[in-house]
Amino acid sequence: MAWLLIDNSNTRTKFALGDADRLLPWRGVLGTSEISGETLDALLKDVSYDAVLIGSVVPSKREILRDFFLNRCPVHLLDHTSPLGIEIDYPLPAQIGADRLANAVGVFHRHGAPAIVIDFGTAVTFDIVSGKPAYCGGVIAPGLGAMSGYLSRKTALLPEIELIEPVSAIGKSTTHAMQAGAVFGYRGLVKEILARISDELPHQPKVVATGGDAALIARGVPEIEVVDPDLTLDGLRQVARRVYRL
């Protein structure tokens, strides 16, 4: 049995196939704003799957996705009531985003617990899995792209920049100065949040990063032990195993 796994986030929506053993080679992606019945038809016209598992943080697009598949095959929408295989130690579990639940499940199965997952997306999220294992909370901060893009949108003279490794801490052009501020400053944010979280945990956690800016930021944050681009999708696959009982 093959499952279609959908990670519907704010900027991009990623698609993958998985089975009981692994993620399969086929991948697809759509800009989240582009999701419609027509774009889904075009993307998936030659893709075979038996059931669908959707992890969504965009309610309007979640409804489009659900309705597209509803009469085609079994569909499950990931939330706190899904069979996760880990506990939830959180007073308001309905507030936990599907992506964060998938990351918690993924990190436990792929890297063990206790662990901290940092997901570098439109927002950056830090999610903690205790040694129990249980999802027990986290931190949400603006994403690197949102922070750097804000300057060009709100100032008259500062440009859009490419987020790459700065050539130095002292910028010799406006672009280089902004890259230094964005990348070095963001690494400082990540290190401080990790230090505060670690101070509150009884055991040293493994720190795993995923998401679009993970590799760039992790190069200067030695506390990040692993960059795992497939973490969220594999977390969805692990939940699909339980939903579809394989």
Contact 51, 5 (CB under 8 A): no
Question: By the 8 A CB rule, do 231 and 161 touch?
Answer: no
Residue 140 identity (one-letter amino acid): I
Q: Based on the number of CB atoms within 10 Å of its own CB, is 8 exposed (0-12), middle (13-18) or buried (19 or more)? A: buried
Which active-site residues does the annotation give? 99
CA 86 to chain centroid: 18
Vertex 171: Cα angle to 165 and 174 (nearest 5): 100
Of the chain, the end-to-end C-alpha distance in Å amounts to 9
Which candidate, 147, 142, 58, 146, places its Cα nearest to that of 97? 58
